[in-house]
C-alpha cells in the first residue's frame, strides 16, 4: 500500500512537470506566474489607494470652492485643483501631501488659501516647474535682524518707509482698519513689543528669521483729509504695531527743509493714506486690497500666481474663465 501511495504522488508530480522533465524550466514558469500574480495584486492595491486619495482630494476641492470669496483665492484654487492637474503636472494626492508638508507654525499663521498656495509652491518646486530662487523672489527678502537690543527707543520719532506697496516682503506691511496702509507717515515709538517670526514666508520655503516689532503712535489728524475730521482728531493718536524693517529714524534736517513751504501749502498735500497714496486704484496685482487688510499670506499667494503665469504654466485667460465660471456657479459677486 505504501508503495502504491508513493507511486500516486510521484505520478501527480510528473503531471505538473513539463515534458522531458526539465525541472529548471518548470521552476522558471512557476516563478513567472507568481510574479504576475504579485504585480496584479500590487496594481489593484495601488489603484484602490489612488481612488481613495482622489476621492479625498475631490472632497477637499469642493470645500475650497465653497470658501473662495476673493479673486486671488479663486485663482489659487483653479491652478492647484484644476489647471495644473489637467496638464499632468501632478495629481491631487500629491497636492494634499505637499500641503501637509507645510510646517505647523506656518499652517497656523496662513489663511486657508494661502496655505494651499504654500503647498502648491513646494510641489511645483519639487517637480522642477519653478526654482526655489524664483519663488523666493516673489516671497521677498528675509531681512533678518538678530535678537538683541531694539534699534529704536521709546518716544523716538520714526517714519514709515514709503516703498511698502511697491516691493514684495516676507513681513506684513503697516496697516490699520481705520485708515488702511500707512506709508510715509511720521509717528513716535511707544514701546518695543518683541520679535516677530516670518512663519508665513517659511510656509513658502523661506528660511526662518525674526524682526523687532514696535507700537507706534501716529497723530490721527495727519491721517485724515477733510478739515472737519482733522479738527475733531486733534490730540488723538492711533497706535499701530509696526515691524522694524518698515521704520526709519526721522532726519531732523530733512524735516526742517520740508517745513519751509507755508502751512497752507503743506495742508493741501495731506490726504488719506489709504494704500500708500493714490496708486491703490491700480495696484491689485501686488496683493493690495484696500477694502480690508490682506489675509495672512495673501500677497505671497498672489506673487506665486503671477510667477506661474510668467512661466507659461497657466494663462490669465484661463484664470479669468475659471473665475467667471466659479462666480456664475455660486452666484457671488466677483471681488478682488
What grid cell was written down for 233? Answer: 482728531
pLDDT reported for residue 58: 52
pLDDT reported for residue 5: 53
pLDDT reported for residue 217: 93
Q: Whole-angstrom Cα distance, residue 118 to residue 164?
A: 22
Partners of residue 196 on adjacent β-strands: 211
pTM for the whole structure: 0.68
pLDDT reported for residue 281: 36
pLDDT reported for residue 332: 57
Cβ contact 296:113 at 8 Å: no
Residue 170: exposure state from Cβ atoms within 10 A (0-12, 13-18, ≥19): buried
Q: Whole-angstrom Cα distance, residue 245 to residue 156?
A: 16
Partners of residue 159 on adjacent β-strands: 186, 248
Count of Cβ atoms closer than 10 Å to residue 91 Cβ? 15
pLDDT reported for residue 4: 56
Cα distances (Å, whole numbers) of residue 18 to 10, 22, 37, 196, 257: 14, 6, 21, 77, 105
pLDDT reported for residue 72: 92
Q: Where are the alpha helices (DSSP H) in 149-248?
A: 199-203, 227-232
Q: Whole-angstrom Cα distance, residue 23 to residue 131?
A: 56
What integer best gives the mean pLDDT of the chain?
A: 77
The model's pLDDT over 225-263, given as tens digits with 9 standing for 90+, comes to: 666 666 666 778 889 999 999 999 987 777 676 666 555
Q: Whole-angstrom Cα distance, residue 235 to residue 280?
A: 28
pLDDT reported for residue 284: 34
Cβ contact 186:158 at 8 Å: yes
Q: 164: closest CA among 266, 297, 273? A: 273
Q: Interior CA angle at 62 toward 112 and 299, to 5°? A: 30
pLDDT reported for residue 37: 81
- Residues of the chain short of pLDDT 70, as ranges, are 1-22, 50-66, 163-166, 224-233, 255, 257-292, 330-336
Amino acid at each position: 500500500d505504501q508503495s502504491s501511495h508513493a507511486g500516486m504522488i510521484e505520478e501527480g508530480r510528473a503531471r505538473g512537470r513539463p515534458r522531458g522533465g526539465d525541472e529548471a524550466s518548470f521552476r522558471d514558469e512557476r516563478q513567472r506566474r507568481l510574479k504576475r500574480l504579485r504585480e496584479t495584486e500590487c496594481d489593484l492595491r495601488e489603484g484602490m489607494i489612488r481612488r481613495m486619495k482622489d476621492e479625498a482630494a475631490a472632497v477637499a476641492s469642493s470645500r475650497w470652492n465653497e470658501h473662495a470669496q476673493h479673486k486671488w483665492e479663486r485663482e489659487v484654487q483653479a491652478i492647484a485643483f484644476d489647471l495644473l492637474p489637467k496638464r499632468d503636472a501632478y495629481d491631487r494626492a500629491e497636492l494634499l501631501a505637499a500641503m501637509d508638508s507645510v510646517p505647523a507654525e506656518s499652517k497656523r499663521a496662513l489663511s486657508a488659501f494661502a496655505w494651499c498656495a504654500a503647498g502648491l509652491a513646494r510641489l511645483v518646486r519639487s517637480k522642477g516647474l519653478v526654482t526655489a530662487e524664483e519663488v523666493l523672489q516673489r516671497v521677498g527678502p528675509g531681512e533678518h535682524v538678530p535678537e538683541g537690543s531694539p534699534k529704536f527707543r521709546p518716544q523716538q520719532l520714526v517714519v514709515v518707509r514709503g516703498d511698502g506697496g511697491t516691493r514684495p516682503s516676507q513681513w506684513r506691511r503697516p496697516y490699520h482698519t481705520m485708515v488702511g496702509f500707512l506709508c510715509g507717515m511720521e509717528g513716535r515709538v511707544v514701546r518695543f513689543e518683541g520679535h516677530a517670526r516670518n512663519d508665513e514666508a517659511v510656509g513658502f520655503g523661506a528660511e526662518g528669521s525674526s524682526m523687532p516689532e514696535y507700537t507706534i503712535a501716529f497723530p490721527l489728524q495727519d491721517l485724515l483729509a477733510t478739515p472737519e475730521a482733522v479738527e475733531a482728531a486733534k490730540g488723538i493718536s492711533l497706535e499701530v504695531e509696526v515691524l522694524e524693517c518698515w521704520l526709519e529714524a526721522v532726519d531732523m534736517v530733512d524735516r526742517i527743509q520740508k517745513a519751509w513751504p507755508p502751512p497752507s501749502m503743506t495742508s493741501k498735500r495731506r490726504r488719506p493714506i489709504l494704500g500708500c497714496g493714490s496708486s491703490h486704484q491700480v495696484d491689485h496685482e501686488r496683493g493690495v486690497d484696500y477694502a480690508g487688510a490682506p489675509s495672512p499670506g495673501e500677497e505671497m499667494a498672489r506673487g506665486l500666481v503671477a510667477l506661474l503665469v510668467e512661466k507659461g504654466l497657466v494663462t490669465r485667460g484661463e484664470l479669468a474663465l475659471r473665475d467667471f465660471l466659479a462666480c456664475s456657479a455660486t452666484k457671488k459677486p466677483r471681488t478682488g
